[in-house]
Chains A and B, each alone.
Chain A
Amino acid sequence: MKLPDLAELAMRNLRESVLRNSLTTIGISVGVASLVAMLSLGIGLQQLASRRLMKSGLFDTVVVSSRRDLRNFGHEEERNGPTPGESRILDESARQEIERMPNVLEAYPDIRFITELRYGDKPHMTMVAALPSSAKSNDAFDSMQGHFFSSDTAPEAVIQKSFAEELLGKTPKPGVDDTNVSQLAAPLLGKELTMRYARRQASQAPAAPSTADPDDEDDEDDDDDFSAAAYSVVSREQKLKIVGVADLDPESMRGPTRARVFLPLRLAESLQVMQPTDLREIARATSGQQVYSSVNVRVKNPSGVQEVESAIKKMGFNTFSILDASRSIQQFFRVLDLFLLIFGSLALAVAFVGIVNTLVMAILERRREIGIMKAIGASDGDVRKLFFAEAGAMGILGGIVGVILGWAIGQIINFVTNIYLARQSFPAEHFWSVPLWLAGFAILFSFLVSLAAGLYPAGRAARLDPVQALRYE
């Protein structure tokens, strides 16, 4: 029998017992909906976590530091690679070289310094750091009061909640974080901070070449340009307008070196604030280029982090990333998805029994009809295919309805959860995700499960003895 005839007969038979077949199809739909709901929750949570982690900048960032900085992270490499004294300086040319690497989005210097900021007439000491404009998408700024820097050179500052508390003279209870950031931001936004800092200023008079001591470990062959390293340190002031107060800490991974006040990167560069490396490299400066204590490298995709990291290590620098943590999170979600799949499939297993029951009942009811079909020339294969087609049609129909049902359940839960989040002053989130591949997979899975459920009844119908079946009343 050809496929269109098979489909036509199957649909006709399904219509004949419309109530029973509808109930069975609803059973399949509920099974598929539970499967879709479970998996879409898993996928939604995974996507949410990935989005959060990506936005946190933890997983796509490699922190590069010179081995000459003895405080750096890679002690293992320090022992294996060149000695700190012989290793390369992390200067502007090295930064540009890193930025040109494949998969690298940007490489920007990590400018941070401890300095004094005056608010009103009171001085406050804190760590100040520069942020590139791409940091705007960091999730720490999602619930920020005010706005991010209007430009990369604007004399503006974004301050962290704890610094805002300090400016306002509020002392939070230790271990309790119940301060409302909007209350803190209201009196501070638009106000001015005065930052006092040590500016490194190129010396007017070129320094005389030193008399090289052959035993000096920093005295290399290429030390031919000492004049560029000659500078004075002068005290300067910079007025900064507070444009934003961040609730979360965008630098939580940095521990003790995390900053509480942020400036636009280009502005910070133009200020030429004295950095610890300036003192260390003064005796060795070779090209007059800007030297950095560390450079932050943002990679296009977390999967490219390892490759970028090893390429930077080959250049002779130390690197740090938390890639391994990302791997274990992925593994966790795979296991979670597997469990959700198993639990979601339980309802489909119940539907499986429902299909077998419906088709076995159909055989009993249509025993004589099967006998007639065989008497007029239907083969065992025709009868088998007919029952398979009926099971398959119920599977596809149940699958489609189930996907719609699962999607609707997800939307409702998303909606209700977001109402709750909005009441708690949290931004809206998308916990539930039904990607196209999941919808296709669920319908295919439902079809295959239904075919498997049809195996026994179809085989039984095909084996019916036509003479016996014709005698059946």
Chain B
Amino acid sequence: MGETLIRAVDGVTLKVRAGEFVALLGSSGSGKSSVLNLIAGLDRPTSGSVVVHGSDLSQLTREELAHYRLHTVGMVFQSFNLIASMTVTENVELPMRFAEVDRGKRDGLVREALTRVGLQARMNHRPSELSGGEQQRAALARALINRPQLLLADEPTGNLDSRTGTEIMKMVCEFNQQLGMTVVMVTHERALAERYAQRLIFLADGKVVGEETTAVVAAASVQGARQ
């Protein structure tokens, strides 16, 4: 019994500008999460290259990729991926431990990030004590904590009801607009993508099958997106 080779992503070429909000759309198995993992430096392409800020991720060592994930990328996932045994504060603080941020500065930064996502009252709660929306907000705070330039969101509203999903998307949009973070979001909800992303890229069977620009424009007023 040998391993079967599956081409999750095949001949994809796409370019994302700094400060842009791009949504990758496609059905299950289309390869959109694989593209996101390649951009996140969690996976390596067997051929081709992924270039972020001029450096080719496929050429980086494991240590360099870890450094890239720590300082350049913030990630949020459909299943939140908070560490269950840690409190909200500990979860948000964790990337700063890896980045060796001074202990004295951490408390202030954690408080600031949690205030930004509206979780200042839930700092000492464990993930299991939070609602789905609160968990995703905690995950957003954790993704923000090291001030990354790139926010990667893999189905961030997939496990949330529509009202909570909207709240989360407004926050992601706010980070893009106010902090100038580049956002690449994977979703299969076209309506949601059209509402917040500036550009939609469609994938099927590991290939890019289409691209659309939405009415949302880069540096557009957040006001517009909120309506």
Chain A residues engaging chain B, CB cutoff 8 angstroms? 1-2, 4-5, 9, 12-13, 16, 368-369, 372-382, 466-467, 470
Contact = CB atoms under 8 A, between A and B. Distances in A.
Interface residues of B, number: 29
A377 B85 CA distance: 19
Interface in B126-142: 142
B40 interface: yes
Given A372-B81, A378-B98, A467 B70 contact: no
Contact of B71 (A9, A13, A373, A377): A377
Given A372-B81, A379-B66, A381-B63, A1 B97 contact: yes
B70 to A, nearest CB: 3
Interface in B170-199: none
B103 A4 contact: yes
Interface string B27-71: 000000000010010110000000000000000001100110111
A9 B90 CA distance: 10
B100 interface: yes
Contact of B94 (A4, A368, A373, A380): A373
A376 B42 contact: no
A2 B104 CA distance: 14
A375 B69 contact: yes
Contact of B81 (A13, A378, A381, A470): A470
Given A12-B85, A466-B42, A382 B77 contact: no
Contacts of A13: 85
A16 B126 CA distance: 13
Contacts of B71: 377
B66 A375 contact: no
Nearest to B83: A369
A467 B37 contact: yes
14 contacts: A1-B97, A5-B100, A12-B86, A369-B85, A373-B83, A375-B81, A376-B75, A376-B98, A377-B69, A378-B70, A380-B62, A380-B66, A467-B37, A470-B42
B215 interface: no
B76 to A, nearest CB: 10
A349 to B, nearest CB: 32
Nearest to B38: A467
B62 A376 contact: no
A16 B86 CA distance: 10
B69 A376 contact: yes
A6 to B, nearest CB: 9
Given A12-B85, A381-B63, A375 B97 contact: no
